Amino acid sequence: MRNLDQLQTTIKDLIHDGRGILAIDESAPTIAKRFKAIGVESTEENRRAYRSLLLTTPGLGEYIGGAIFFEETLSQRTPAGIPLPAIAWEQRIVPGVKVDKGKIPLALCPGDQITEGLDGLAQRLQTYRDQGARFAKWREVYTITDQNPSSFGLEANADALARYAAICQEEGLVPIVEPEVLMDGRHNIERCAEVTEAVLHSVFAALLRHHVALELMLLKTNMVLPGTEQPKARPDVIATATHTVLTRAVPAAVPSINFLSGGQEPEESTANLNAINLHRDRCPWNLSISFGRALQQPALRAWQGKSDNGAATQQALLKRARLNSLAMRGAYLPDMER
């Protein structure tokens, strides 16, 4: 394979015991929504200031091994003129980039969605690589209803993920493959497990059809959870359901599975991650995180768009990163939140 050494080096740099991935790749509408909640306008300068503040957190590299950037962030710099990807790498945090262009309804499949962005992807990856990105991320989402996802929805989304992953490896970037089964809805945890297993089977079948090297990719996926209209499940129940699905559907060749926080509260997602990792010695994969909101929510609340709050913002981020690092080892306790 072309770029084999480069891909292997990136995998090695991304995967460490107790280090996860920080997702600061929110789209313009998403980060505008989060900024609005704290009374901050979503300007390019405010986005740069906030993400720069996160990436310059002293000690963050002890707990975070990779950071997913939004496209504009790759070209942004600190006030001292240092590119943000270089700032990340100073702490051995590997810079990556979100490359999908968002979801749209899948034609003739009511309730299913598909992600755009494959056209011109190879050329964009070359530009991102020149800007410092070493891995990429593509997300497909699956809504659970009585009819969804449909069999064609499963196939179409899996094929898009596989085509993206193949292009990434061809261009020397490690692909993070992200199929996310959404929490929204009234489904129980058994239905989430059923759908998640079907999604993962379809994704890995497509990856193999497209000749994607499983050893040179990461899986980013949801925990198995009940829908938002159902009572919450205990962490041990979530861990058992998640382990069952993963062992049935994810090949051992995949080096790491990085869990999404999936709309959970920060403390809740950490407790669930810890429960999953209590039995990690039985798993062939590294079990890690790729949390966005669940890592950043306390930091955003501390920041409030004010430069005077910089130290408090970084402390809030570092606390959640440290606690999640402990959870990746099955060593987190709720009392540590105090």
| Residue 241 belongs to domain with CATH number | 3.20.20.70
Residue 199 clears pLDDT 90, i.e. is over it: yes
**How many domains is the chain built from?**
1
**Residue 337 counted as domain residue:** no
**Residue 46 counted as domain residue:** yes
24 pairs with which residues across the strands? 69
Q: Which of 160-169, 198-207, 255-264 has the lowest mean pLDDT?
A: 255-264
Indicate the pLDDT class of residue 262, thresholds 50, 70 and 90: confident
Amino acid letter at 334? Answer: P
Q: How far is CA 71 from CA 30, 103, 166, in A?
A: 14, 17, 20
Known catalytic residue: 33? no
pTM for the model stands at 0.96
Summarize pLDDT for 265-304 with one digit per residue, the tens.
999 999 999 999 998 888 999 999 998 888 899 999 999 9
Rounded CA separation 234/324 (Å): 18
Choice among 178, 197, 215, 268 that is catalytic = 178
DSSP string, 149-191: S-HHHHHHHHHHHHHHHHHHHHHT-EEEEEEEE---SS--HHH
Rounded CA separation 208/253 (Å): 12
Query: Could you list the residue range(s) of the whole structural domain that residue 58 is in?
Result: 4-330
**3-state secondary structure (DSSP) of residue 28:** helix
Q: For all residues of the chain together, what is the average pLDDT?
A: 96
**Residue 335 counted as domain residue:** no
Indicate the pLDDT class of residue 306, thresholds 50, 70 and 90: very high
**Residue 294 counted as domain residue:** yes
Indicate the pLDDT class of residue 146, thresholds 50, 70 and 90: very high
pLDDT at 338: 85
**Residue 338 counted as domain residue:** no
Mean pLDDT of 210-227: 98
Choice among 33, 220, 265, 267 that is catalytic = 220
**Residue 336 counted as domain residue:** no
Indicate the pLDDT class of residue 2, thresholds 50, 70 and 90: confident
Token look-up 């950490």 returns 270
**Residue 220 counted as domain residue:** yes
Rounded CA separation 138/277 (Å): 25
pLDDT at 1: 79
pLDDT at 91: 97
Mean pLDDT of 29-50: 95
pLDDT at 295: 87
Known catalytic residue: 220? yes
